[in-house]
């Protein structure tokens, strides 16, 4: 029961596609790259996500009668073009970075090489998928990191930007490092631990808080987690929770699993609550907190406030990436075949940093002997890096800044996804993607991942690629 | 081909529902309200949207085998509860504000009265729909207003938070006032004008900019709108556009419809471009601009910079509501039936403003003789306002601040949507919703809709409702 999302594309993709078609140029081979220019929240890295959605879109890209009739009704599209869409078959090559990989500005994340008409038709969905999902995975990884090993749960469905944002947002958050989600459908669809216990309304719906807690304990004796702040956390909520433990759970051989605080001063309350619970012998009862948390508040609680918190529920600021709700991936032409030869294309900007990197490319990541990432290198697609010899990296903006690396290892980061339209990539399980993120994250220097003023990770160009770019810039200036 | 979104609910809705079920209380009648506490961007109003999605969800709320099997696999739900879900039938009453209506903090936007188990099961989707769609409709109305009558187009699909956010975001933006969208699927689904012309890649894919423009003009002679900033707007883009007009379009009896500028200083460029076009006799050629626009930049361009712009394309800052990506609607218990009588429920907070408004309610809007909105009044559900007599409004926080209104007219703002589970609301066409927004917006004072430091629109309580609330607060304090 697949949704038909084929027409989720900017209308100009279709006017351009129709133009190429009518000009007889639609089968000309082009190369387009996706890259981004700046990291949300002034961070030092981002986490790549969204590839599985893109694969899904491409695999299901058909134009049904409704689509064709709609386009026909616009009275601007060529009959032959509509026929082409009716019989659409994806035939391009696609390379991409794998989900869960740390990524950096200006490097190619996704490359399509194929008929220019196909490149154009998938543009919007490719960007949409990468931009949203990388945004959430990145934001989540910042939040999870500051929790310093304490589990973080994604609680944001009610503030997500609609249904897919809740579901795919939960998936991206899981890649980014959350332990579970409150979204049941995401749990079912992606096999993410889905969990939750009670809202204030449950407590309010009973005669008393104690009665509510008692009901919950009797219904869920193995996993009694009580929301204690409906009336007064310290004077009612915790005493009632302890009473439920003593009167209901203990006689059954069970114990109070945890309590949740959703309002008030979380640092102060968590410490007071910990003391009350410990004094009642409930040293194993966990304290969970929620309420407009983000990476900075969590860091404050954990590092500066000595809060006694075992896990965090994070909602709106994660699922909307509220502090920076835009991930700015772009999709740019980088080469065009002329007479059977790929000719690199550049888009010059007065803003030097916005001038594109031309050509059909590949991306390598350099690691040192301790498996720490040193730099990324953008090369021509077929360049081979010989890691047995010293390699000279240089800053593409200031080429006199050089660094010779030895005893390194390289990883090719762009892997084949489609070959001539055929899916050749083994789609990994979500749990594997999550593990990849965890492992690769370990290879980043602390200086790169810190929240404020991170070190700028090196993304360099190979000499060959740099030369081509300079040549095109020079040619263009004349 | 409906998607099954039934389980898009926070897991705690299910643990609570199962708890109510096992306690034999699930058919107890409850009342829950949706309201919000603060307006995004410190604005003076918001625009309500999301109702149609909620209706759609409720109408399709079934739990299929996959859902039930998933829940079964969790090993915490009662067999009888799962049977209940398998045979789920919605039986509640629902009241809501109509889409496109200006709304204000603390007033009930959506009320459900029915078995507490049903209220709980729809909570997440109700909030998700209202929060996302009202956020985008509100943001859009701010942007459109500052364009002072110039058309604004929604161009944000590639930066939306996934597929639904692109589609329903475009729908919300249309309610909020955009003239069209770049999202073709939204165009097809909702009958919103979908439009677009070309990206930089189209221009780059040709030998020269002139060749690209020529191709476009030949393919779309009736609607030639050229993107002029790929290389150099003033020295190449505009001269090439004028040449295409003179050499291609004019001989066909056509003319250049417009040009788009997507980078650089839009104020400066638009003025220079206007002069160049006018000098070439192209006085009817329209100038469209895009590039990270929002309400403030548009106001600057229009009011302070005398920019010569005919229409705006707005992308990421609209579709993500980037400046404030969260709309904070909440869902709170307000009454519970005991022995056949609805008993108002309150949630007290130390923060007075966060204490809820109890009871089963109705919302009235007061208009003066000139059809300007004076105030909203929250009443008990069955209260009737006699508009033939003077009515005393008072500030619920400072009841000594009073105002007697005469010669007014009232509108009941919460209309029946479902009655005993049956849809009784005539779902309006999107064009009607958009018209409603336009008309009702005219009833707001300029002081309420200005961007900065708007006047706080009055949302008052009737004397009866105020008394009940005070009584509950007093009772609770003792």
The structural domains of chain B, ordered by start, are 11-137+327-359+411-441 (3.20.140.10), 197-309 (3.20.20.70)
A397 vs A460: CA distance, rounded Å: 9
H or E element, residue A80 = helix A79-86
Decide if A162 and B157 are in contact by the 8 Å CB cutoff: no
Decide if A3 and B1 are in contact by the 8 Å CB cutoff: yes
The alpha carbon torsion through B66, B72, B77, B79 (nearest 10 deg) reads 90
Mean confidence (pLDDT) of chain A: 97
Task: Please compute the mean of the pLDDT values over residues B292-307 and round it to a whole number.
Answer: 96
Q: Residues 175..234 of B with a Cβ closer than 8 Å to A: which?
A: 182-185, 187-188, 194-202, 204-205, 215-216, 219-220, 222-223, 230-231
Q: Residues 138..177 of B with a Cβ closer than 8 Å to A: which?
A: 155, 157-169
How far apart, in Å, are the Cα atoms of B128 and each of A347, B329, B363? Answer: 40, 9, 22
Residues of B in contact with A324 (CB under 8 A): 322
Please determine, for residue B350, whether its predicted confidence score (pLDDT) is greater than 90: no
B320 vs B135: CA distance, rounded Å: 9
Decide if A204 and B333 are in contact by the 8 Å CB cutoff: yes
Q: Calculate how close chain B gets to A410, using CA atoms only, in Å.
A: 32
Decide if B157 and A10 are in contact by the 8 Å CB cutoff: yes
Task: Please compute the mean of the pLDDT values over residues B85-98 and round it to a whole number.
Answer: 98
Q: Calculate how close chain B gets to A366, using CA atoms only, in Å.
A: 31
Residue A237's Cβ-side half-sphere holds a number of Cα atoms within 13 Å equal to 25
* Residue entry with tokens 């002679």: B221
Decide if B163 and A128 are in contact by the 8 Å CB cutoff: yes
- The 10s digit of each residue's pLDDT in B116-164 is 999 999 999 999 999 999 999 999 999 999 999 999 999 999 999 999 9
H or E element, residue B111 = strand B110-115
Q: Calculate how close chain A gets to B450, using CA atoms only, in Å.
A: 24
Residues of B in contact with A10 (CB under 8 A): 155, 157-158, 182-184, 196
Name the DSSP letter for residue A194.
Answer: B
Q: Calculate how close chain B gets to A192, using CA atoms only, in Å.
A: 12
Mutation for A interface: B14, B54, B161, B202, most A CBs within 10 A? B161
Q: Are B138 and B103 within 8 A, CB to CB?
A: no
Task: Please compute the mean of the pLDDT values over residues B279-296 and round it to a whole number.
Answer: 97
Q: Which of A131, A120, A142, A99 is nearest to A31 (CA)?
A: A120
Residues of A in contact with B19 (CB under 8 A): 198, 202, 215-216, 219-220
pLDDT score for B267: 97
* Interchain CB contacts (distance < 8 Å): A and B: 299
Q: Calculate how close chain A gets to B370, using CA atoms only, in Å.
A: 37
- The 10s digit of each residue's pLDDT in B180-227 is 999 999 999 999 999 999 999 999 999 999 999 999 999 999 999 999
Q: Calculate how close chain A gets to B405, using CA atoms only, in Å.
A: 37
Residues of B in contact with A30 (CB under 8 A): 205
Q: What is the pLDDT along chain A (478 residues), one digit of tens a residue?
A: 578 999 999 999 999 999 999 999 999 999 999 999 999 999 999 999 999 999 999 999 999 999 999 999 999 999 999 999 999 999 999 999 999 999 999 999 999 999 999 999 999 999 999 999 999 999 999 999 999 999 999 999 999 999 999 999 999 999 999 999 999 999 999 999 999 999 999 999 999 999 999 999 999 999 999 999 999 999 999 999 999 999 999 999 999 999 999 999 999 999 999 999 999 999 999 999 999 999 999 999 999 999 999 999 999 999 999 999 999 999 999 999 999 999 999 998 777 778 999 999 999 999 999 999 999 999 999 999 999 999 999 999 899 999 999 999 999 999 999 999 999 999 999 999 999 999 999 999 999 999 999 999 999 999 999 999 999 999 887 7
Find the CB nearest A8 among B157, B200, B263.
B157
Backbone angles phi, psi at A349, to 5 degrees: -135, 150
Decide if A332 and B201 are in contact by the 8 Å CB cutoff: yes
Decide if B164 and A165 are in contact by the 8 Å CB cutoff: yes
H or E element, residue A69 = helix A65-73
Q: Calculate how close chain B gets to A324, using CA atoms only, in Å.
A: 7
Nearest CA in chain B to A127: B158
Nearest CA in chain B to A263: B349
pLDDT score for B156: 98
Find the CB nearest B326 among A127, A219, A316.
A316
H or E element, residue A19 = helix A11-22
Q: Are A306 and B316 within 8 A, CB to CB?
A: no
Find the CB nearest A1 among B1, B198, B220.
B1
B319 vs B139: CA distance, rounded Å: 9
- The 10s digit of each residue's pLDDT in B372-403 is 999 999 999 999 999 999 999 999 989 999 99
Nearest CA in chain A to B53: A162
Q: Within a 10 A sphere around the Cβ of B48, how many other Cβ atoms?
A: 27
pLDDT score for B354: 82
Q: Are A237 and A200 within 8 A, CB to CB?
A: no
Residues of B in contact with A349 (CB under 8 A): 263
Give the DSSP letter string of A397-440.
SSTT-EEEE-S-EEEE--EEEEETTEE-S-PPPHHHHHHHHHHH
Q: Within a 10 A sphere around the Cβ of B451, how many other Cβ atoms?
A: 15
Structure tokens of A174?
A: 């899981």
pLDDT score for B476: 82
- The 10s digit of each residue's pLDDT in A287-324 is 999 999 999 999 999 999 999 999 999 999 999 999 99
Decide if A132 and B333 are in contact by the 8 Å CB cutoff: no
Residue B325, chain A, CB below 8 Å: the answer is yes
Distance of CA B359 to the CA centre of its chain: 26
For this complex, say whether ipTM is above 0.85. yes
Q: Within a 10 A sphere around the Cβ of A83, how many other Cβ atoms?
A: 12
Nearest CA in chain B to A212: B19
Q: Are B105 and B38 within 8 A, CB to CB?
A: yes
Find the CB nearest B22 among A128, A157, A219.
A219
């Amino acid at each position: 029961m697949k949704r038909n999302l084929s027409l989720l594309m900017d209308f100009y993709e279709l006017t351009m596609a129709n133009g190429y078609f009518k000009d007889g140029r639609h089968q000309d081979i082009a190369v387009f790259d996706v890259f981004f220019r700046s990291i949300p929240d002034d961070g030092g890295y981002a986490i790549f996500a969204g590839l599985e959605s893109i694969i899904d879109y491409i695999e299901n890209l058909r134009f049904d009668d409704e689509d064709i009739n709609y386009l026909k009704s616009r009275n601007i599209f060529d009959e032959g073009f509509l026929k082409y869409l009716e019989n659409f078959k994806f035939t391009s090559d696609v390379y991409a970075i794998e989900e869960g990989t740390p990524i950096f500005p200006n490097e190619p994340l996704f490359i399509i090489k194929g008929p220019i008409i196909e490149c154009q038709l998938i543009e919007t969905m490719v960007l949409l998928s990468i931009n949203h999902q990388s945004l959430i995975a990145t934001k989540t990884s910042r939040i999870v990191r500051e929790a310093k090993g304490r589990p973080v749960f994604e609680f944001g469905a009610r503030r997500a930007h609609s249904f897919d944002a809740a579901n795919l947002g939960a998936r991206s958050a899981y890649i980014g490092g959350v332990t579970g989600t409150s979204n049941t459908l995401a749990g079912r669809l992606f096999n993410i631990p889905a969990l939750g216990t009670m809202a204030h309304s449950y407590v309010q719906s009973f005669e008393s808080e104690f009665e509510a807690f008692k009901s919950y304990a009797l219904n869920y004796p193995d996993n009694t987690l009580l929301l204690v702040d409906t009336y007064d956390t310290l004077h009612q909520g915790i005493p009632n929770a302890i009473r439920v433990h003593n009167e209901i759970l203990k006689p059954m051989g069970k114990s109070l699993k945890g309590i949740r605080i959703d309002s008030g001063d979380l640092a102060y309350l968590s410490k007071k609550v910990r003391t009350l619970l410990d004094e009642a012998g409930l040293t194993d009862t966990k304290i969970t907190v929620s309420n407009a948390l983000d990476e900075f508040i969590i860091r404050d609680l954990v590092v500066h406030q000595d809060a006694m918190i075992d896990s965090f529920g994070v909602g709106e600021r994660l699922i909307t990436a509220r502090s920076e709700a835009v991930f700015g991936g772009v999709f740019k032409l980088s080469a065009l075949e002329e007479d059977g030869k790929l000719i690199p294309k550049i888009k010059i900007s007065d803003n030097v940093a916005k001038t594109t990197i031309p050509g059909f490319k590949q991306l390598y990541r350099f690691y040192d002997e301790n498996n720490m990432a040193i730099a990324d290198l953008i090369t021509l697609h077929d360049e081979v890096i010989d890691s047995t010899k010293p390699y000279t990296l240089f800053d593409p903006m200031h080429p006199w800044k050089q660094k010779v690396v030895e005893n390194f290892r390289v990883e090719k980061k762009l892997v084949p996804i489609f070959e001539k339209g055929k899916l050749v990539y083994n789609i990994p399980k979500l749990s594997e993607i999550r593990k990849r993120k965890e492992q690769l994250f370990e290879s980043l220097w602390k200086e790169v991942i810190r929240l404020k003023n991170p070190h700028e990770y090196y993304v360099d160009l190979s000499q060959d690629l740099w030369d081509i770019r300079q040549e095109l810039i020079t040619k263009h200036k004349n």
